[in-house]
């Protein structure tokens, strides 16, 4: 268990460092005002229109960094600051979320795979570690048998969450690539503003990368605990 705490501590530290850097980047690029004067909402609506998407609504959602695309009701949800403000950070986020809408419209396979996993992961992720830990305790107390198989079920549940994190990576990176390509092709931002948008999205993507590495490392650790003790 001590090794697990070291692993979790290291991942948490890296996650905190990346998250802190992301917040600093967005704070910095939020001060870079767009020369075209467009708000995040206007940029999102233009990107959707340019991609022939007219059945997706751009709405404002409370909170900070709460931006997301909802494929169920086809809405691009922009946090209040992104929705209203007219800066490089807002442009990056708005275009990125519309990148997901474009993926949806074009039936992007990785997005479809992630959407398929959502219901399963929402049910299994909360109980996976408890099943593994409980199974290991039962196995230690009463031999392998029933406790071992409980732990295996927990590992399977944990694997679903890990797969979800890994599948999320191409979805997020592709959405950013679509956003940046559109911002440049349509001259929505100046070259200097483009650099800010690209840098902001780069750090946002790294949060997903750290999460995926953490999920994979945790899965491998518990798999070693479950199977490593067997003769």
Q: Which residues partner with 230 through β-bridges? A: none
Q: Tokens 């071992």 sit at which residue? A: 148
> Are 124 and 161 within 8 A, CB to CB?
yes
> What confidence tens digit (pLDDT) does each residue in 115-171 have?
999 999 998 888 888 888 888 887 665 555 678 888 899 999 999 999 999 999 999
CA distance 35 to 17: 32
Number of domains the chain contains: 1
The position carrying tokens 């501590």 is 9
> Residue 51 belongs to what domain range?
2-228
Residue 1's pLDDT band (cuts 50, 70, 90): low
Active site residue 42: no
**Residue of 85, 97, 172, 193 with catalytic role:** 97
Q: Is the pLDDT at 188 greater than 70, yes or no?
A: yes
Model confidence, pTM? 0.88
Higher pLDDT, residue 136 or 181: 181
């Amino acid at each position: 268990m001590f090794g697990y705490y070291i692993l979790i501590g290291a991942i948490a530290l890296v996650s905190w460092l990346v998250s802190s850097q992301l917040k600093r980047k967005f704070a910095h690029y939020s001060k870079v005002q767009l020369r075209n004067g467009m708000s995040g909402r206007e940029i999102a609506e233009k990107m959707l229109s340019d991609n022939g998407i007219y059945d997706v609504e751009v709405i404002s959602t409370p909170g900070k960094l709460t931006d997301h695309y909802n494929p169920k009701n086809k809405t691009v949800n922009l946090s209040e600051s992104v929705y209203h403000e007219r800066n490089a950070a807002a442009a990056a986020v708005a275009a990125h979320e519309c990148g997901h809408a474009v993926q949806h419209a074009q039936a992007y396979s990785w997005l479809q795979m992630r959407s398929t996993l959502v219901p399963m992961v929402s049910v299994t992720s909360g109980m996976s570690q408890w099943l593994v830990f409980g199974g290991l305790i039962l196995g230690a107390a009463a031999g392998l048998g029933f406790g071992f198989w409980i732990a295996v079920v927990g590992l399977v549940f944990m694997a679903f969450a890990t797969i979800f994190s890994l599948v999320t990576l191409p979805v997020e990176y592709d959405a950013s690539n679509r956003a940046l390509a559109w911002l440049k092709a349509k001259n929505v931002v100046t070259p200097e503003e483009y650099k800010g948008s690209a840098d902001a999205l780069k750090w946002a993507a790294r949060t997903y990368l750290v999460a995926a590495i953490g999920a994979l490392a945790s899965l491998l650790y518990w798999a070693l605990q479950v199977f490593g003790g067997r003769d």
